């Protein structure tokens, strides 16, 4: 059993074969998929898709690229959406200083406002970071003990990993770890405490090496688990089991969805 803890199968790239993609995930024993929203539209469509299958869950949030679009109305709608039984986390939210599609101060403001919602409602957070650890970590450190979650698609070094673990966050590892030149990522994958590890695809992006250049999909999370197992000299099954356990505990799946 594998869990893809970060997928965007609600978007256009999957509109023609969503059900086949889900079938392939099932055949690959990817039993659970977390569909991550990044703006209002994709948050709503994540929920809609999660309603169709027991093993799909959803998140809502505004990505830092779209931070400039955050209005009081958007926040109000997010407040409504998180009441849905399939919504198990807030995100992806964070800071992106690589593309800077919204000004830094606007990104920080949107991040803080959404962290407030997550904190007030006891929802774990999915963090997006690109070249912004210097600002993200202090913001999270200021809320230590009040928020929890995962640094999705972690690309920092071991030192940043340690700081993230100190504030109680999980480390999400995706397809990049399978790239031959991703040495820093592979070092992190070797040393991250197993009880803090999650695996993900971030599909349709960041396709693992064996399909690089093509569209990514949840079934390929198995390649991520396999690579981590190889790096840690353990079996893929062990990585599958521990990351499934971690996911269920972090997102409190049983409590949030007793039917699951």
Range in contact with Ni ion (rule: CB under 5 A) among 96-104, 196-204, 209-217, 249-257 = 196-204
| Residue of minimal Cβ distance to Ni ion | 202
Find, among 65, 15, 5, 12, the residue nearest to 36 by Cα: 5
User: What is the smallest separation between the CB atom of 254 and Ni ion, expressed in angstroms?
Assistant: 25
Residue (47 or 144) nearer to Ni ion, CB: 47
Which range touches Ni ion (CB under 5 A), out of 101-109, 160-168, 198-206, 246-254? 198-206
| Binding window for Ni ion (CB under 5 A); candidates: 81-89, 95-103, 199-207, 246-254 | 199-207
- 158-166 vs 133-141: helix crossing angle, rounded to 10: 20
Count residues near Ni ion (CB under 5 A): 1
Which is nearer to Ni ion, 7 or 81 (by Cβ)? 7
Question: The tokens of 189 are what?
Answer: 């994958």
- What is the nearest approach in angstroms of Ni ion to the Cβ of residue 8? 6
Of 72-111, binders to Ni ion (CB under 5 A) are none
Q: Binding to Ni ion by residue 202, rule CB under 5 A?
A: yes
- Residue 6: name the closest of 73, 42, 81, 59 by CA: 59
Q: How far is the CB of 202 from Ni ion (least distance, A)?
A: 5
Shortest Å distance, C-beta 47 to Ni ion: 16
Task: Copy the structure tokens of residue 64.
Answer: 């830092």
Q: Which is nearer to Ni ion, 202 or 217 (CB)?
A: 202
- The piece of 14-22, 164-172, 200-208, 219-227 that touches Ni ion (CB under 5 A) is 200-208
Residue 233 CB, nearest approach to Ni ion (Å):
30
CB of 203 to Ni ion, least distance (A): 9
Residues that bind Ni ion (CB under 5 A): 202
């Amino acid at each position: 059993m594998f869990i893809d803890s970060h997928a965007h199968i609600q978007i256009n790239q999957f509109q023609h074969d969503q059900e086949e993609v889900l079938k392939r995930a099932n055949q690959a024993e990817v039993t659970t998929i977390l569909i991550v929203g990044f703006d209002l539209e994709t948050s709503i469509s994540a929920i809609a898709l999660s309603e169709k299958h027991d093993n799909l869950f959803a998140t809502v949030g505004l990505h830092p690229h779209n931070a400039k679009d955050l209005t009081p109305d958007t926040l109000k709608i997010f407040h409504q959406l998180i009441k849905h039984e399939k919504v198990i986390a807030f995100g992806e939210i964070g800071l992106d200083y690589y593309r800077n599609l919204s000004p830094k101060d606007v990104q920080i403001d949107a991040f803080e406002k959404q962290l407030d919602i997550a904190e007030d409602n006891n929802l774990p957070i999915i963090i997006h970071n690109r070249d912004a650890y210097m600002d993200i970590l202090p913001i999270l450190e200021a809320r230590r003990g009040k928020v929890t979650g995962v640094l999705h698609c972690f690309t920092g070094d071991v030192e940043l990993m340690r700081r993230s673990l100190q504030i109680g966050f999980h480390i999400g590892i995706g397809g990049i770890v399978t790239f031959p030149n991703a040495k820093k990522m592979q070092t992190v994958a070797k040393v991250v405490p197993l009880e803090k590890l999650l695996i993900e695809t971030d599909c349709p992006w960041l396709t693992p090496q064996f399909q690089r250049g093509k569209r990514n999909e949840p079934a390929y999370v198995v390649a991520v688990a396999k690579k981590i197992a190889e790096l840690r000299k353990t079996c893929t099954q062990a990585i599958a089991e521990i990351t499934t356990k971690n996911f269920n505990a972090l997102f409190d799946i049983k409590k949030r969805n007793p039917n699951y």
